[in-house]
Structure 1
Amino acid sequence: MSIHTDKIAKKVTLTTIAKMKGVEPITMVTAYDALFAKLFDGNVDMILVGDSLNMSFLGKEDTLSATMNQMIYHTQAVCNGATLPLIVLDMPFGSYTNREDAVRNATRAYQETNAQAVKIEGGKERANIVKALTDNSIAVLGHIGLMPQFLRSDGGYKIRGKDKTDIDSLIEDARALESAGAFAIVVEGVKSEAGKAITDAVNIPTIGIGAGIDTDGQVLVWSDMFGFFEDFKPKFVKQYSKGAEIIRENLDRYTTEVKEKKFPSKEFTY
């Protein structure tokens, strides 16, 4: 039985997400402002205010220099635009290196935004931090597999789950996060068989990004999926629109009409 129709009619909560495991795939996209959040409102189950904004909108090479101030500002904007999805603030690099910092920064995120959860990268080595947050009534979305905040220490983006040993390690990570109280886990950049094994091993939902079809849901960065970000396209990204191409074509129409004094015509003049 489907939990909701194609158009989401009521507020998605942590309980909603928990009940969707094995019943209905979870849809999740990133958003960074009120304009796009409003477009996504009622059409997706979850919105992640991702630190990917550092690359998509600031033009940085990675996510590592994103700050709490940035994440709070953009989450406030997203919360102003969307009322129905469950909104998650992505905790930036350096904001949860220990339990005290994690609780302080995540508490600030809750106090200054309407986000319903925060996202933390890391497996069993971060389980104590996840538990510190959940013990303080802060909901946590875990993140394992390929982790952008580990880019430098890992020596680049590396696909995980290529052998049984690594799959077993990822399952240990997922179970540790579940035991620590995470309500769901993002699984990124793993072989499809690893995505399935992780999903089968835990009782909380998994949300895949480059993790195959057998996770409990999917997430994509909106500027990737709509073809606005052109620096590179990961293998797992399906472009549902040629956004950059559409903008350029219509911008060319605008500049041509201005140069030829065809705009504004009488229709657009007081």
Structure 2
Amino acid sequence: MTKSITAWQKAKQEGRKLAMITAYDHAMARLAEQAGLDALLIGDSLGMMMAGEKDTLPVSLEQMEYHTRIVARAVSRPLVMADLPFGAFEESPQQAFAASARLLKAGADIVKLEGGAVMAETVAFLSARAIPVCAHIGLTPQHVRQFGGFKRQGKTQEAADKLFDDALALQAAGARMLLMEAIPADLATRITQALDIPTIGIGAGNGTTAQVLVLHDVLGLNPDKAPSFAKPYLNGAELLTQALTAYATETRAGTFPA
């Protein structure tokens, strides 16, 4: 079962690819499991996708806990990963443990935190206390205001070398997985080959163990804001608009209910 972190480790060793999608509610989580997804990420992207925020920073731990609970309740097979939101883990390893414990109790199998080698101490603290951690480097959305926007990372040799060193430090600290976002494909592949732990890519080429995309981007529900690396597999916005329009038209015409 891909719900097991050891199963992900085995997939990395065998060179098998895995598929992950974000999920924020019970109904979509059930559909994702039925479709055979290997993992569901309750991302703090829910602030943008579900609440219309301009970035992920306003998302609270309470929101993450709530959405983790309703997603985890819907599935039994996929790995359930939950984001530690901005402000819930950076202050100290002890703060990170308290927040992580709440997400695991809500149903997460593993938590994800953003940051490079600077977070190695926190990762080690959590790992020593039964908290599985996925580290997140590259474009880290919680740093978007510091970056000056959602910008691709690791483009210079110096920046690429730093991300490579970050990856090694986080693995050494006990991270069980590594997510890389919006970095050059060759860099993501090189990091994947250097690590023993599974890697997850988003906008980082196809050399990683797994891929993750935002559900709304895959379903074409956010066509005007989807990142360039996302691929819509459905024109969901148009299809849903047509359905809602048809319902409204029939209701006003008195043909529904018949």
Band of TM-score, shorter chain: over 0.9
Cα deviation digits, residues 206-227 of structure 1 (max 9, x gap): 1100000111110000011111
State the match for 1:15 in structure 2.
Answer: 6
State the match for 1:88 in structure 2.
Answer: 81
CA distance in 1, matches of 2:159, 2:192: 15
Quick check: 1:24 aligned with 2:41?
no
Task: Map 1:55-74; keep pairs closer than 5 Å.
Answer: 55-74=48-67
Quick check: 1:41 aligned with 2:33?
yes
Quick check: 1:146 aligned with 2:139?
yes
Aligned with 1:58: secondary structure?
Answer: coil
- Picking from 89, 103, 108, the partner of 1:109 is 103
- After TM superposition, the runs of 4+ consecutive aligned structure 1 residues lying more than 4 A away are none
State the match for 1:3 in structure 2.
Answer: none
For the 8 Å contact 1:184–1:204, the answer to whether it is kept is: yes
Gaps spanning 5+ residues in structure 1: where? 1-9, 266-270
CA distance in 2, matches of 1:156, 1:201: 29
Higher mean Cα deviation, 57-66 or 221-230? 221-230
Residue 99 of structure 1 and its aligned partner are, at CA, apart by 0.8
Aligned letter for 2:74? Answer: G
For the 8 Å contact 1:187–1:208, the answer to whether it is kept is: yes
* Amino-acid identity (%): 40
Residue 154 of structure 1 and its aligned partner are, at CA, apart by 1.7
For the 8 Å contact 2:188–2:207, the answer to whether it is kept is: yes
For the 8 Å contact 1:167–1:197, the answer to whether it is kept is: no
CA distance in 2, matches of 1:197, 1:157: 23
CA distance in 2, matches of 1:101, 1:172: 25
Aligned with 1:15: secondary structure?
Answer: helix
For the 8 Å contact 2:4–2:79, the answer to whether it is kept is: yes
For the 8 Å contact 2:2–2:39, the answer to whether it is kept is: no
Task: Map 1:224-243; keep pairs closer than 5 Å.
Answer: 224-243=217-236
State the match for 1:4 in structure 2.
Answer: none
Cα deviation digits, residues 137-192 of structure 1 (max 9, x gap): 00001100000000111222221222322221111111111111111111000011
CA distance in 2, matches of 1:233, 1:106: 29
Task: Map 1:172-211; keep pairs closer than 5 Å.
Answer: 172-211=165-204
Cα deviation digits, residues 55-83 of structure 1 (max 9, x gap): 00100000001011000000000011111
For the 8 Å contact 2:30–2:74, the answer to whether it is kept is: yes
Task: Compute the TM-score of the two structures, normalised by the length of structure 2.
Answer: 0.96
Gaps spanning 5+ residues in structure 2: where? none
Task: Map 1:154-173; keep pairs closer than 5 Å.
Answer: 154-173=147-166
Aligned with 2:130: secondary structure?
Answer: coil
Aligned CA-pair RMSD: 1.1
Residue 11 of structure 1 and its aligned partner are, at CA, apart by 5.7
Task: Compute the TM-score of the two structures, normalised by the length of structure 1.
Answer: 0.92
Aligned with 1:101: secondary structure?
Answer: helix
CA distance in 1, matches of 2:188, 2:69: 32
Aligned letter for 1:253? Answer: A
CA distance in 2, matches of 1:46, 1:254: 34
Cα deviation digits, residues 6-60 of structure 1 (max 9, x gap): xxxx462011111111521111000011100000115111110000000001000
